[in-house]
Structure 1
């Protein structure tokens, strides 16, 4: 390796250190400062954001984590149940399989929405930027991240409850919420009808309000949905549905021979 490709400095970590008799999370002693004194959410935010969380940070994060934990037999839950059915000795593998479904189509769309809110917040003319975004997705005939829901109509109740909770917090600046509201107005205008803000759209605004960077937001979906997937495994242990899902799909999707497919029988 050439000198030009070597790292300029030795890498370091500020997350954790330990001795024979102690363990620290950042600058906090795990045993003396955290255990029995702080909640999981407090320590999680301290580790991720590298600062002491405020009360408003905890309230917003807890609400977000609760909302993202569960939504029934979604692709992530089905994946977890099927993998657990195939390898019941590997609980963590089943959870990991489900977490792979947290992405730009399901569960993790707050990251995509947050990127749009960042653009609106930074624009010289936020309303024009919001309208340009809405028109762009209209021309693509593609759903806008954070808007619309195939199950919750005419509104996604989770989203509006989250936004109400955030608006009641005087410590929040409200910039990201206003950006979401501007985008919602533009989306409705371009569509010619009301389109609901969905849960991940509201989550994008709320996490942005407490200073979570856009590129980190999907991690909160992973943290929350992992807990929900463990619950799916518990239910799978007590009331299995994995084989039923498998057999239902196998019976519902027929085999159709492709045209021109070469057969193996004699002429």
Structure 2
């Protein structure tokens, strides 16, 4: 049984023969290894084009911004998995990445799609950025959904990573429609939501990356690639300074059982 369209059996990313390996039109050994940094190679792999210096600058910046933030859920899952299965380093990395969802880590993609939809509405001529942003917020609130890219449980005065990325965007002149929509959302929140909220890093990252030309469909890959580096670091530490079972025990102590208990015979 066929699932989906399968009439174009092609790939333009990589091929090889007995003497060479070609990646995106470049000879891997002659043009890439030892000559291209990994961030540029990542951009080339995803888009088919080498990044400009500004694109590389922002790709490096966002990868650094989202890679590490302490014992977040993805890291906890990874370290606890490694504690239980130390033979499965790859499985522990995978366990951390599998939690990349709409609330934590993968929320940059959710925010990016939201901003891109609103930008598309503005392009269609159905309202100003401020009007479209306000309607977008009202729609989310009616559905009892959070505003993607806003608020932070710790950085209530402003996420320093987001503030820096947006300052860099201003400095390098790459503020476009998506950052503009991010600002329009920020500005309408006091009236539509009843209070202001700070832009968080998962709001700044997609706005910046979309404005420098990174594809919307690959946005989640930024978070996945960056967090993989962090997970490897945490697992390396777990091997010599294990805390996986400590975290597991702390979780058991922190949660109170309120179910029925068996009656003694």
Residue equivalent to 1:168: 171
CA spacing shift, 1:69–1:6, aligned 2, 3 Å? closer
Shift of 1:137: 2.8
Residues 80 and 229 of structure 1 are in contact (CA less than 8 Å); yes or no, is this contact kept in structure 2?
yes
Give unmatched runs, 5+ long, in structure 1.
Answer: none
Q: Corresponding residue for 1:38?
A: 36
CA deviation map 1:193-217 (0-9, x unaligned): 3210000100010110122232210
> How far did residue 264 of structure 1 move?
6.5
TM-score in terms of structure 1 length:
0.91
The 2-side partners of 1:7 and 1:86 are apart by 41
TM-fit CA distance, 1:12: 1.2
- Partner-residue secondary structure (3-state), 1:148: coil
Task: Deviation per CA, 1:47-74: give whole Å up to 9, x if none.
Answer: 1011121001100000000011011101
* Of 95, 99, 110, the match for 2:97: 99
Separation in 2, partners of 1:36, 1:257: 60
Conserved in 2, the CA contact under 8 Å of 1:113 and 1:146? yes
1:86-138 superposed Cα distances (whole Å, 9 cap, x missing partner):
11111111010000111100011111111221122222212211001112233
- Check the 8 A contact 1:99/1:226 in 2, yes or no: yes
Aligned partner of 1:57 in structure 2 is: 55
Deviation at residue 6 of structure 1 after TM alignment = 7.6
Q: 1:223 to 1:139 in 2, by over 3 A?
A: same
Q: Which residue of 2 aligns with 1:236?
A: 238
Q: Which runs of 4+ in 1 moved over 4 A?
A: none
Give the one of 150, 153, 173 matched to 1:150: 153
3-state SS of 1:24 partner:
strand
CA distance in 1, matches of 2:135, 2:149: 16
Q: Is the 8 A contact 2:47 2:215 kept in 1?
A: no
CA deviation profile, 1:174-199 (whole Å, cap 9, x unmatched): 22111111111112322333210000
Structure 2: stretches of 5+ with no match in the other structure: none
Measured after TM superposition, the shift of residue 173 of structure 1 is 5.5
Counterpart of 2:6 in structure 1 is 7
State the alpha-carbon separation in 2 of the partners of residues 56 and 127 from structure 1. Answer: 28
TM-score, normalised to structure 2's length?
Answer: 0.92
For the 8 Å contact 1:81–1:242, the answer to whether it is kept is yes
